[in-house]
Structure 1
């Protein structure tokens, strides 16, 4: 009898330890109320005004703790030394343990852009989160349409990766990604890699305002016709996500409304 009791007690301790580990692991490193500092361990310049920043998490097995499609708030100082806080979406997922990455486009007059321009390996970035209204359960829709402009690609990339890399999720993803020039396309290599790896489930259509001479994508601004051709048709089991500059978001809302996408079929990051 004492052996049985000790076995039960031992099992209870093991179960408790497993539960504690699981709950600690799932919690992640973020704090929604307070900024936490993360060390920059790598900075890779991708173009004249775009860089990828890799930040270290406390341990090699730590996860950031960011639900799919949500973002973090980053705190820095502008050129005048004034504090500035801006939201960003990491391009990494919680399955990428030990680190997280931000792909940042730095604008000449951008207040937070100044902070990232000055950031060097070994410096720390203050981060708070998660934040955002987007909620997703695998398989809750048949397909996503995505319309992104410029740096609005980062939440789309994060959501697409999470869907496609989950073997239990069969959701299809159709992305329209608009930019001014070819050089402005962020994460093109990664997006093309997803399209090659998941040809039946992920499609990307690039649109450029100023395309190169040889170009097989869309030209100009994203039109109703482009949405009709490259996004899933309105239906109760589809959703269209949009993220871009405010004028683009406004225009896309008008197009989607006119094409019959109800408000509950649309989500704006």
Structure 2
């Protein structure tokens, strides 16, 4: 196995400029499985982030009923992945999704049958007036068909929040994140939340793998100089925080990958309470 480099990032923002976050978004992005492994150890210093509104914004999600949101922008990221931007009802509306939670989207497959899947937006409630999803569209995926067919002006049915993970600033000293494929999205969401909170000193360590370099989404258009191979027990031991009651390892990837990571983590002494799988 190759010696894999560690990219260390530390951010301190002193004025309101979302382009800083967009640059960061283009560094850490979704979609992977086994081949190219991006390992990022991020020491996150807090970012000073001004509120975009002075009144309490309207929260749009309903946990019991589906609501429609219009697609206003679609950006192709790779041969099978795209970024979808949906408008909220007003410029001051927020989705109303707690950090660490996800939404349930409803659509139609190629046969016209109803299908539902869970997704984690890459935006937060600090993004007002819209929310964004990064979606990998598989050739035979049922919900993939729905997203593949979506055009500007079409509407997506969504309800939520849902999910078992609850995040609050400083709940742990450090997160170790192990992601595969679109499993990067909840990790990205939590990372952004830490960056935007000047009081949150949580350290984040990320192991992120993709099938190929081209499957690494939202990355700058440069050549890949990182490691290649599967995530191993040795990589976890080297690049994630050691077992402790004040750390947590978050996992999100394909089932086979999640199972393998759980086996490695157990062998390294991470107790079940130190692990969470999205």
Cα distance in structure 2, aligned partners of 1:238 and 1:131:
24
Match of 1:265 among 243, 249, 274: 274
How many angstroms apart in 2 are the aligned matches of 1:230 and 1:116?
35
Please, what TM-score do these two structures have when normalized by structure 2? Answer: 0.78
Using the TM superposition, give the Cα deviation of residue 186 of structure 1 relative to its aligned residue in structure 2, in angstroms: 2.4
Aligned to 2:76: 45
Taking the aligned partners of 1:91 and 1:172, their CA distance within structure 2 comes to 19
1:135-146 → structure 2 map (5 Å cutoff): 135-146=166-177
Asked if 1:132 is matched to 2:163, the reply is: yes
Matches of 1:240 and 1:156, distance apart in 2: 11
Q: Unaligned 5+ residue runs, structure 2?
A: 1-54
1:81 match? 112
Give me the whole-angstrom Cα distance separating, in 1, the residues matched to 2:171 and 2:134.
Answer: 28
Report the counterpart of residue 133 of structure 2 in structure 1.
102
Distance 1:234 1:176 in 2: 16
Match of 1:227 in 2: 236
Is the CA contact 1:69–1:159 (under 8 Å) kept in the aligned structure 2? yes
Give every structure 1 segment of 4 or more consecutive aligned residues whose post-TM-superposition deviation is greater than 3 Å.
Answer: none
DSSP-derived class of the 1:188 partner: coil
3-state SS of 2:111 partner:
coil
Q: Is the Cα–Cα contact under 8 Å of residues 62 and 161 in structure 2 kept in the other structure?
A: yes
How many angstroms does 1:216 deviate by?
4.1
What is the CA–CA distance in structure 1 between the aligned matches of 2:197 and 2:267, rounded to whole Å? 33
Deviations 1:208-231 (A, max 9, x none): xxxxxx854332211011001111
1:185 shift after superposition? 1.0
Task: State the SS of the aligned residue for 1:249.
Answer: helix
Report the 3-state secondary structure (helix = DSSP H, G, I; strand = E; otherwise coil) of the residue aligned with 2:199.
coil
Match for residue 199 of structure 1?
A: none
Give the greater-gyration-radius structure (CA).
1
Counterpart Cα distance in 1 of 2:250 and 2:111: 36
Tell me if the contact between 1:71 and 1:131 (Cα under 8 Å) persists in the aligned partners: yes
Q: More helix by proportion, 1 or 2?
A: 1
In 2, the alpha carbon distance for the partners of 1:218 and 1:147 equals 15
Q: Which residue of 1 aligns with 2:36?
A: none
Shift in Å, 1:70 = 0.7
Find the aligned partners of 2:174 and 2:195 in 1 and give their Cα distance. Answer: 12
Farther-moved stretch of structure 1 (244-253 vs 217-226): 217-226
How far, CA to CA, are the matches of 1:45 and 1:99 in structure 2? 18
Distance 1:135 1:81, change over 3 A: same
Q: Distance in 2 between matches of 1:219 and 1:56?
A: 38
Matched, 1:248 2:257: yes
- State the SS of the aligned residue for 1:127: strand
What SS does the aligned partner of 2:112 have? Answer: coil
| 1:34 is the counterpart of 2:65 | yes
Query: Which moved further from structure 2: 243-252 or 217-226?
Result: 217-226
